[in-house]
């Protein structure tokens, strides 16, 4: 490390003002502070500082995402080999998923961080770490077969129009990763839903090549790639009892498949187990608010109990455990709703914010005929309302203060 | 039985270098320097010239906007120089101090026989009115106004804080006289807040005041927090604030007829070899205090005051006007920690849970440990801000300088020191105390 430190000291002057690479100052600084804690000492105010900084916070979020990411990769391979009818070992399965997802992560990072670096340089600020999380979230909430150029376009759109125009990390109103997904969802709906996009049938960089016939990948008979939520939304069955979830090759899915994550879906959302691990990390470190997570589920429970009571079709009858295990409900509650920037910022506000997310997500899920998932829209909607919720929570404090004055004045008059 | 209030929010930063309760002697220096910047919001005008003889208690300068507001010399000697900086702003006043302090005699007075105006005049004339501060704005109290109440904090809860019990021992009579004097100055009450663990029975049984016990972590000792729990400041109201040590200084003026600005000061901090208490006059240069008593070989940060609100001084710097504590910590310059974001080093301390919590005391240096960012993490300030105020919206309204909002959100109740812990825990590394100070100053300018 000493060698690197020496080298950094040597090249540093080139990146300062007036140096030949001054246009890359922000980039240089980002990498330097990534490698070494800056040795700037305090000039005003407190003389000592807490060791937690923005980098630490984002690192914890990424750490919490790792279990879901790794399992998502494995599941991509698992679903792939299932539908091409080939047997594969654990490592082969995982590597197929890794190779399918890696290009997406790289594209999201290169495009998003490129824009972040450029705008930081333009604004003469340090590069904020927020996109390190968004960049990994974006591929995790998209179907595995999303073309790379779409990811690039959506990422660019989201980073520029949902974040940078508002002032960058910390000022955005909408969750950046969800905006990228929403952009694709409305711009290219055929690539974002349906039963063709969730399972990759092509080979990835030579791994998991299927048998080809006339240039079309061959799949096993009866293959359907619909997610379980997609299945129940489009089913002809008139009650939940007469309906059964199946995997891609038509075998029935058990609750434990859904819990561990052997179901079609985007990489992040499939394994409830991995999401729970992530939730554990976020809550223990205090990086994610347990209040938000819990209240999303409370909102969900209230909505599910209500629709179950008045159920008239299969999805309305679907019991609670399926709602929580399927689709993006858990993933959204743990990783999206807790984004501190776009969430309500007051503690009371978080209860309301989370509750409404859960409530609206289930409502959209159950009553929207075309689109079987409601988490994304529900969170984005509540993102827009979070400042309003906070406004009323803070306003209660203001009113209390006003009342104090009023009581005083009245007493004064009475005297 | 005193009313008891328990503070739950807050943070006791576990630092190395708690001052040992041992009195180690008297520190003197030939040169004594008074820094007018200690007195926030004052525009100093000299009353003495270089070469003039002064006694302890003689006025050195006054405030341009309040000519009655005199500032006493803490020592006797000859005014050696008035050092000025840009725009002829006075940086410090240098006094060549006598070996033994000669006091100007103000005459003993019995407080009970004095009227409010007499008390006021006595304190002003003696040049120690600056010990009384006011809310709103956290500046020296405006003597022309009558305060609703007066609040005295009887303990310091900041990191490595001096023990008031230890310092006050023997000064109880002066303290009581001081409290009696203050009681004359307000039609309301004088509140004295004590730590519930205090062993000083005189403090607990102080007369003429409302005694309240406070229990809990820092900032329980901050007078702002105490006011918020006892009787919050409303718009249009003024309250005065002091700490018990300064009340004793005022009491001494009446009991002995002298201005005694020598303080019992705690020497603390991880880099001090022998911590303890010393008697030091305000303005005394401290180099002999640090001689052979601090870590050598690494850059150090010397602080007059505590690590949260103190003033950075040089090794030969002076004890500042309001401080009863000196802290020495490592500066941390040229320390290059690798991959801090992934570090599991047991030497890093965080109030939150992103680092493992160890049961130990830490040696923290002056590094900021991160870059400044927009406010990202929520509920961080609230956890260390035990007042019925939302710190984050208030800060944002200050940054935007929205006067209505600032008023509504409680700006009149706060001082920069109340935000010190927010600044410490802040993930975004913002200079919060400076933001609050600036907001209060602008607001004062706008309102007065």
3-state SS track over chain A:
CHHHHHHHHHHHHHHCCCCCCHHHHHHHHHHHHHHECCCCECCCCCCCCCCCCHHHHHHHHHHHHHHHHHHHHHHHHHHHHHHHCCCCCHHHHHHHHHHHHHHHHHHHHHHHHHHHHHHHHHHCCCCCCHHHHHHHHHHHCCCCCCCHHHHHHHHHHHHHHHHHHHCCCCCCCCCHHHHHHHHHHHHCHHHHCCCCCCCCCCCECCECCCCEECCEECCCCCCCCCCHHHHHHHCCCCCCCCCCCECCCCCECCHHHHHHCCCCCCCCCCCHHHHHHHHHHHHHHCCCCHHHHHHHHHHHHHHHHHHHHCCCCHHHHCCHHHHHHCCCHHHHHHHHCCCCCCCCCCHHHHHHHHHHHHHHHHHHHHHCCCCCCCHHHHHHHHHHHHHHHHHHHHHHHHHHHHHHHHHHHHHHHHC
- A45 closest CB neighbour out of B329, B342, B433: B433
Do residues B274 and B18 make contact, with C-beta atoms less than 8 angstroms apart? no
CA distance B329 to chain A (A): 9
Residue B314 — very low, low, confident or very high, per pLDDT cuts 50/70/90? very high
CB contact under 8 A, A48 and B366: yes
- From the list B239, B284, B228, the residue with the least C-alpha distance to A401 is B228
Q: Residues A278-322: pLDDT tens digits?
A: 999 999 999 999 999 999 999 999 999 999 999 888 888 999 999
The β-bridge relationship of strands B210-215 and B44-46 is unpaired
Q: Report whether pLDDT(A413) > 70.
A: no
The mean pLDDT of chain B is: 94
CA distances (Å), A187 to each of A150, A193, A364, in order?
10, 12, 20
Question: Which ranges of B210-286 would DSSP assign to H, the alpha helix?
Answer: 223-230, 244-256
Q: Give the pLDDT of residue B342.
A: 87
Q: Do B365 and A48 touch (CB under 8 A)?
A: yes
Nearest to B30 by CA among B338, B281, B322, B320: B281
pLDDT of residue A414: 56
Map out the domains of chain B with their CATH numbers: 262-342 (3.10.20.600), 382-447 (no CATH)
**A38-73 tens-digit pLDDT:** 888 888 899 999 999 999 999 999 999 999 999 999
- Please give the Cα distance from B211 to B202 (Å, whole number): 11
| Residues pairing with B325 in the sheet | B266
Residues A363-400 have pLDDT tens digits of 999 988 667 788 999 999 999 999 999 999 999 999 99
Give me the sign of the Cα torsion angle A71, A76, A79, A85. negative
> Is the CB of B113 inside 8 Å of chain A's CB atoms?
no
Point out the residue among A5, A54, A401 whose CB comes nearest to the CB of B336: A5
- How far is residue A185's CA from residue A380's CA, in Å, rounded to a whole number? 13
Residue of B219, B233, B333, B340 to mutate for A, most A C-beta atoms under 10 A: B340
Asked if residues B278 and B267 have their Cβ atoms less than 8 Å apart, the reply is yes
Burial of B43 (0-12, 13-18, 19+ CB in 10 A): middle
B399 touching A (Cβ < 8 Å): no
Q: Which stretches does DSSP call E strand in B282-426?
A: 300-304, 311-313, 325-330
Is B274 near chain A, with CB under 8 Å? no
Taking the C-alpha atoms of residue A131 and residue A172, their distance in angstroms, rounded to an integer, is: 12
Name B121's Cβ contacts closer than 8 Å, sequence gap at least 6: none
Between residues A101 and A17, the one the model is more confident about: A101
Interchain proximity B301–A284, CB inside 8 Å: no
Interchain contact, B376 vs A289, CB within 8 Å: no
**Does residue B193 sit in helix, strand or coil?**
strand
Which one of A26, A36, A46 would you mutate to disrupt binding with B, by most B Cβ within 10 Å of its Cβ? A46
Contacts of A408 in chain B (CB under 8 A): 234
pTM of the model: 0.92
CA distance B338 to B297: 22
Tell whether B11 lies on the interface with A, counting CB pairs under 8 A.
no
In this complex, which of B348, B374, B431 lies closest to A51 when CB atoms are compared?
Answer: B348
Q: Which chain A residues are within 8 Å of B338, Cβ to Cβ?
A: 1, 35-37
Q: Which of B320, B330, B155, B133 is nearest to B241 (CA)?
A: B133
In chain A, the percentage of residues whose pLDDT exceeds 70 is 98
Any chain A CB within 8 A of the CB of B149?
Answer: no
A332: nearest Cα among A262, A279, A280: A279
pLDDT tier at B1 (50, 70, 90 boundaries)?
low
For chain A, say whether B299 makes contact (Cβ under 8 Å).
Answer: no
**Selection from B294, B293, B282 nearest residue B319 by Cα:** B282
B267-305 pLDDT, tens digit per residue, is 999 999 999 999 999 999 999 999 999 999 999 999 999
Structural contact between residues B289 and B326, judged by C-beta atoms closer than 8 angstroms = yes
pLDDT at A369: 67
Distance of residue A71 Cα from the nearest chain B Cα, in angstroms? 23
């Amino acid at each position: 490390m000493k060698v690197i430190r020496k080298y950094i000291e040597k090249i540093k002057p080139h990146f300062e003002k007036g140096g030949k690479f001054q246009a890359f100052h922000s980039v240089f600084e980002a990498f330097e502070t990534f490698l070494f804690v800056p040795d700037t000492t305090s000039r005003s105010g407190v003389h000592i500082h807490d060791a937690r900084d923005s980098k630490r916070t984002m690192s914890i979020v990424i750490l919490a995402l790792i279990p879901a990411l790794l399992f998502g990769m494995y599941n991509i391979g698992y679903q792939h080999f299932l539908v091409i009818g080939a047997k594969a070992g654990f490592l082969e399965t995982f590597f197929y998923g890794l190779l399918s997802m890696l290009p997406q992560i790289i594209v999201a990072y290169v495009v998003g961080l490129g824009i972040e670096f450029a705008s930081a340089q333009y604004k003469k600020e340090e590069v904020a770490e927020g996109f390190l999380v968004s960049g990994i979230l974006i591929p995790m909430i998209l179907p595995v077969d999303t073309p790379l150029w779409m990811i690039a376009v959506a990422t660019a759109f989201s980073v520029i129009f949902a974040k940078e125009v508002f002032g960058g990390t910390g000022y955005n109103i909408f969750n950046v990763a969800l905006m990228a997904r929403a952009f694709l969802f409305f711009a290219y709906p055929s690539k974002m839903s349906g039963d063709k996009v969730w399972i990759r049938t092509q080979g990835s960089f030579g791994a998991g090549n299927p048998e080809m016939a006339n240039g079309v990948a061959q799949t096993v008979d009866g293959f359907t790639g619909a997610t379980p939520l997609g299945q129940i939304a489009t089913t002809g069955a008139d009650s939940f009892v007469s309906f059964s979830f199946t995997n891609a090759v038509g075998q029935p899915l058990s609750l434990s498949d859904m819990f561990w994550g052997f179901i079609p879906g985007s990489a992040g959302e499939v394994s409830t187990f991995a999401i729970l691990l992530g939730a554990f990390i976020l809550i223990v470190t205090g990086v994610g608010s347990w209040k938000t997570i819990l209240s999303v589920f409370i909102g969900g429970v209230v909505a599910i109990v209500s629709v179950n009571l008045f159920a008239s079709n299969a999805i309305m009858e679907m019991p609670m455990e399926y709602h929580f295990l399927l689709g993006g409900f858990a993933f959204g509650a743990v990783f999206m709703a807790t984004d501190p920037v776009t969430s309500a910022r007051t503690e009371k506000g978080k209860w309301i914010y989370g509750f409404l997310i859960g409530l609206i997500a289930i409502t959209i899920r159950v009553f929207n005929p075309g689109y079987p998932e409601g988490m994304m829209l529900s969170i984005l909607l509540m993102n827009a309302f979070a400042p309003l919720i906070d406004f009323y929570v803070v306003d209660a404090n203001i009113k209390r203060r006003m009342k104090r004055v009023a009581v005083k004045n009245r007493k004064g008059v009475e005297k | 039985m005193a009313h008891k209030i328990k503070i739950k929010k807050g943070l006791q930063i576990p630092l190395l270098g708690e001052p040992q309760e041992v009195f180690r002697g008297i520190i003197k220096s030939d040169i004594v320097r008074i820094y007018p910047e200690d007195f926030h919001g004052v525009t100093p005008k000299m009353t003495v010239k270089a070469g003039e003889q002064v006694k302890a208690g003689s006025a050195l300068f006054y405030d341009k906007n309040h000519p009655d507001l005199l500032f006493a010399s803490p020592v006797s000697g000859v005014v050696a120089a008035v050092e000025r900086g840009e725009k002829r702003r006075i940086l410090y006043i240098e006094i060549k101090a006598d070996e033994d302090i000669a006091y100007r005699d103000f005459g003993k007075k019995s407080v009970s026989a004095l009227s409010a105006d007499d008390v006021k005049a006595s304190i002003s004339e003696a040049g120690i009115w600056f010990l009384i501060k006011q809310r709103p704005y956290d500046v020296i109290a405006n003597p022309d106004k009558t305060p609703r109440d007066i609040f005295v904090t009887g303990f310091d809860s900041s990191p490595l804080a001096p023990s008031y019990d230890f310092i006050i021992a023997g000064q109880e009579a002066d303290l009581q006289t001081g409290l009696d004097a203050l009681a004359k100055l307000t039609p309301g009450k004088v509140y004295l807040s004590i730590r519930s663990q205090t062993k000083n029975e005189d403090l607990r049984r102080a007369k003429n005041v409302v005694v309240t016990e406070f229990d809990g972590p820092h900032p329980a000792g901050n007078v702002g927090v105490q006011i918020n729990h006892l009787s919050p400041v409303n718009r249009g109201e003024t309250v005065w604030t002091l700490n018990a040590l300064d009340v004793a200084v005022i009491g001494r003026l009446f009991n002995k007829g002298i201005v005694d600005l020598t303080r019992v000061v705690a020497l603390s901090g991880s880099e001090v070899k022998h911590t303890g208490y010393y008697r030091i006059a305000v303005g005394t240069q401290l180099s002999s205090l640090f001689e052979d008593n601090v870590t050598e070989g690494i850059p150090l940060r010397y602080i007059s005051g505590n690590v949260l609100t103190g003033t950075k001084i040089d090794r030969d710097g002076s004890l500042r006007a309001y401080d009863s504590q000196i802290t020495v910590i490592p500066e941390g310059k040229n320390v290059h920690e690798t991959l801090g974001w992934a570090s599991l080093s047991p030497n890093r301390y965080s109030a939150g849970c992103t680092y493992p919590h160890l049961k130990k005391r830490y040696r923290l240096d002056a590094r900021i440990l991160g870059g400044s960012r927009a406010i990202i993490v929520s509920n961080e300030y609230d956890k260390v801000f035990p007042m019925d105020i939302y710190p984050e919206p208030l800060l944002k309204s200050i940054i935007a300088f929205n006067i209505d909002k600032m008023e509504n959100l409680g700006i009149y109740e706060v001082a920069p020191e109340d935000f010190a812990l927010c600044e410490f825990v802040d993930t975004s590394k913002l200079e919060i105390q400076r933001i609050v100070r600036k907001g209060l100053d602008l607001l004062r300018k706008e309102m007065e």
